[in-house]
Chain A
Amino acid sequence: MFTLVSQLVIGVADLCAAFLFMFGLKRMSSPATAPSGIRLAGLGMIAAVLASFLYLFTVDPAARPHLLVNISLAVTALLIGGLGAWFVGRKVAMTAMPQMVAIYNGMGGAAAGLIAAVELFGGHTHGVTQLVVTLLGGCIGAVSLSGSAIAWAKLDGVLNKPLRFKGQQLVNAVALMASVAVAGVILASVLGVGGLLLPTSTWIWIFFASALVFGILMTLPIGGADMPVVISIYNAFTGLAVGLEGFVLQNPALMIAGMVVGAAGLLLTVIMAKAMNRSIANVLFSNFGTVAKAKSGAIKGTERPTEASDAAIKMRYASSVIIVPGYGLAAAHAQQKLYEFVKLLLAAKVSVKFAIHPVAGRMPGQMDVLLAEAGVPYDMIFQLDDINDDFATTDIALVIGANDVVNPAARADKSSPIFGMPILNADKAAQVYVIKRGQGKGYSGIVNALFYSPNCNMVYGDAQAVLVKMIEAVRGLGAAAA
């Protein structure tokens, strides 16, 4: 009787969870409804987790003597993992969000991989299909774990340079083949074709180790500017791994949630790759930096530096300004100062808009979140296609810490490695100011033709320091007038 009721309750709870996840994500189609969406999804999660304690009534006979230990382990793990991550998540700076997403991808991937490990070590899987799916999910989960760890290290600045060497693709291919081969061996030995040389459990260890190594190797050569694509891919991977383990555990809620996340990650990956005019394969397997070095110095003219205060006063007396933020804004934590400056412009009746490129920053939508954090209302924020025609009729474009996304070479110069990439037409504004840490090239190492164009002035310095000066300059004007 208990068995029946617990099955029913688990089934209903999981169904509700799956529904609430989908419905919650659906409500993310507008910033106005999105907060309620995540809360609904949260309810679904709580229901599913609570209901899963009813699994206790249907445990394996072999696990029955360990029931009390297992329960206390489960509660401990839930409390430590849940509360720990909750407090970190409440505190973490918005500029660190790409790192956090990488960590969560890794955690989810690791959990999926560990479930696969339990199934494999415990010999719970039955039949070829289940075994193959377990191995596949485990492999993807492990790749997602180690890959996300490397992505985190790059985003956090622990690893600064993409690591590239000759024959890298070959090494990666060998690592992947090794995982597949070991998976084959495990399959053979579990199905009783015969253990090969080593006991099955050793092969399982080797399997996970090789998948982890592959994840590391695959991510090491990818540069910082390509991080939006990488994060999206690991998001998709983790979703896929969770979905596959859901099949192994015969749990449709996991399958649906995992697959929806997989689709979401894939869609974002495609959007990001498109915004860079590159194929996904190109981001993952080509050495972007080496191509970029080939052409440089083909541009005539010089960069014209100017004072922050001059730039600020020009903007104060302009009638329209479009601001193009990039990773430099996040790196300098300058979003609050930027909005402070914008509020001064708005008070002086200047029309101000923000223009966001899809790959500005280190993850999809990072700029939007930073501006929202500073208090910028989202009706002032415009995406590439919605605003690109406005630059031509705008007095001043202010580029802050963005580089490749405003490089006109992408439109005109066929030899440029970023040729064909959709860019923000900041150069079409009557006057352009660029706030930049210093002379030199951007992350991808490409010379930016915009900086040498006659209507462009450079303001060198840390974005936050420059904005402070700009705010002072405009305030000074107001004081003088009064």
Chain B
Amino acid sequence: MSFDIAMTGFVALYIFMLAAFAGWVIIGNVPAILHTPLMSGSNFVHGIVVVGGLFALFNASTPLEQAIGFFAVLLGAGNAAGGYAVTDRMLAMFKTSDAKPAHAHGHGHGKVHHLKKS
């Protein structure tokens, strides 16, 4: 038994296709007001490349490979950590005028503060 993931070309293409569609639809629902945090958030998500960098570095056997792998991990980690830090900071800034009017209208939870989207 093995849990190794083996992907042939076509399976990979299916994954790419589905991920692209899912991404397009999910991102299409993000309101324009959040486009900057969305962008830095997707910066953060592509920081997952650090995992690839770690894999490459662990399997490095020459100084050149080690050096390249080191920088791949360095940049990937920076990409992920920095992307997270700025996105988290930005998202914490978005506030409604005050919660009271919303409560007065009877919708108690934050979800109803949806932006108007035509």
Beyond A107-B78, A129-B9, A249-B55, whether A31 also contacts B115 by CB under 8 A is yes
The reply to whether B37 and A104 form a contact with Cβ atoms under 8 Å apart is no
Residues of A244-261 whose CB lies within 8 A of B: 245-247, 249-261
The reply to whether A81 and B77 form a contact with Cβ atoms under 8 Å apart is yes
B29 to A: closest C-beta gap in Å: 4
Chain A neighbourhood of B94, CB < 8 A: 31, 34, 372, 378
A236 to B: closest C-beta gap in Å: 9
Chain B neighbourhood of A55, CB < 8 A: 54-55, 58-59
Chain B residue with the shortest CB-CB distance to A244: B16
Interface of chain B, helix or strand or loop or mixed? helix
Beyond A52-B51, A364-B39, whether A378 also contacts B62 by CB under 8 A is no
Chain A neighbourhood of B35, CB < 8 A: 268, 363-365, 368
The reply to whether B91 and A363 form a contact with Cβ atoms under 8 Å apart is no
The reply to whether A377 and B97 form a contact with Cβ atoms under 8 Å apart is yes
Beyond A38-B41, A104-B40, A363-B36, whether A97 also contacts B86 by CB under 8 A is yes
Q: How far is the CA of A33 from the CA of B41 in the complex (A)?
A: 14
Q: How far is the CA of A118 from the CA of B73 in the complex (A)?
A: 12
Q: How far is the CA of A111 from the CA of B71 in the complex (A)?
A: 7
Beyond A31-B94, A34-B37, A372-B90, whether A264 also contacts B85 by CB under 8 A is no
Most buried by B among A55, A89, A383: A89
Residues of A101-119 whose CB lies within 8 A of B: 101, 103-105, 107-108, 110-112, 114-115, 117-119
The reply to whether A242 and B49 form a contact with Cβ atoms under 8 Å apart is yes
Q: A224-247 interface mask toward B, CB cutoff 8 Å, 1 = contact, 0 = none?
A: 000000011001001100110111
Chain A neighbourhood of B98, CB < 8 A: 377
Number of A residues contacting the other chain (C-beta, 8 Å)? 129
The reply to whether B32 and A365 form a contact with Cβ atoms under 8 Å apart is yes
Chain A neighbourhood of B29, CB < 8 A: 26, 29
The segment out of A66-74, A189-197, A409-417, A436-444 that lies at the interface is A66-74
The reply to whether B73 and A260 form a contact with Cβ atoms under 8 Å apart is no
Chain B neighbourhood of A265, CB < 8 A: 39, 42
The reply to whether B65 and A261 form a contact with Cβ atoms under 8 Å apart is no
B64 to A: closest C-beta gap in Å: 6
Q: B43-61 interface mask toward A, CB cutoff 8 Å, 1 = contact, 0 = none?
A: 1111111111111111111
Q: A118-129 interface mask toward B, CB cutoff 8 Å, 1 = contact, 0 = none?
A: 110110100001
The reply to whether A260 and B51 form a contact with Cβ atoms under 8 Å apart is no
Q: How far is the CA of A101 from the CA of B92 in the complex (A)?
A: 18
The reply to whether A59 and B59 form a contact with Cβ atoms under 8 Å apart is yes
Beyond A49-B50, A250-B7, A256-B19, whether A111 also contacts B76 by CB under 8 A is yes
Q: How far is the CA of A115 from the CA of B37 in the complex (A)?
A: 27
Contact of A100 among B3, B53, B68, B86 (CB under 8 A): B86
The reply to whether B49 and A254 form a contact with Cβ atoms under 8 Å apart is yes
The reply to whether A380 and B97 form a contact with Cβ atoms under 8 Å apart is yes
Contact of A263 among B23, B77, B92, B117 (CB under 8 A): B23
Number of A-B contacts (CB under 8 A): 417
Residues of B1-35 whose CB lies within 8 A of A: 1-7, 9, 12, 15-16, 19-24, 26-35
Residues of B81-102 whose CB lies within 8 A of A: 81-98
Chain A neighbourhood of B40, CB < 8 A: 97, 100-101, 104
Contact of B79 among A35, A38, A108 (CB under 8 A): A108
The reply to whether A259 and B74 form a contact with Cβ atoms under 8 Å apart is no
Chain A residue with the shortest CB-CB distance to B92: A35
Contact of A363 among B23, B26, B39, B60 (CB under 8 A): B39
Q: How far is the CA of A223 from the CA of B78 in the complex (A)?
A: 28
The reply to whether A247 and B113 form a contact with Cβ atoms under 8 Å apart is no
The reply to whether A28 and B68 form a contact with Cβ atoms under 8 Å apart is no
B44 to A: closest C-beta gap in Å: 7
A309 to B: closest C-beta gap in Å: 28
B42 to A: closest C-beta gap in Å: 4
The reply to whether A378 and B96 form a contact with Cβ atoms under 8 Å apart is yes
B116 at the interface (CB under 8 A from A): yes
Mind listing 14 A-B residue pairs with CB under 8 Å? A29-B31, A55-B54, A81-B73, A85-B82, A107-B78, A110-B71, A121-B68, A124-B59, A249-B56, A251-B51, A259-B16, A259-B19, A366-B36, A378-B96
10 closest A-B pairs by beta carbon, nearest first, are: A89-B85, A365-B35, A263-B23, A85-B82, A81-B77, A260-B23, A364-B35, A259-B19, A85-B78, A365-B36
Besides A70-B60, A114-B75, 20 more A-B contacts (Cβ < 8 Å) are: A25-B42, A28-B37, A28-B38, A30-B111, A35-B88, A38-B37, A63-B58, A69-B66, A74-B69, A107-B75, A107-B79, A114-B71, A122-B59, A242-B49, A249-B52, A251-B5, A268-B27, A365-B32, A369-B93, A375-B95
Interface of B toward A, CB cutoff 8 Å: 1-7, 9, 12, 15-16, 19-24, 26-62, 64-66, 68-98, 110-111, 113-118
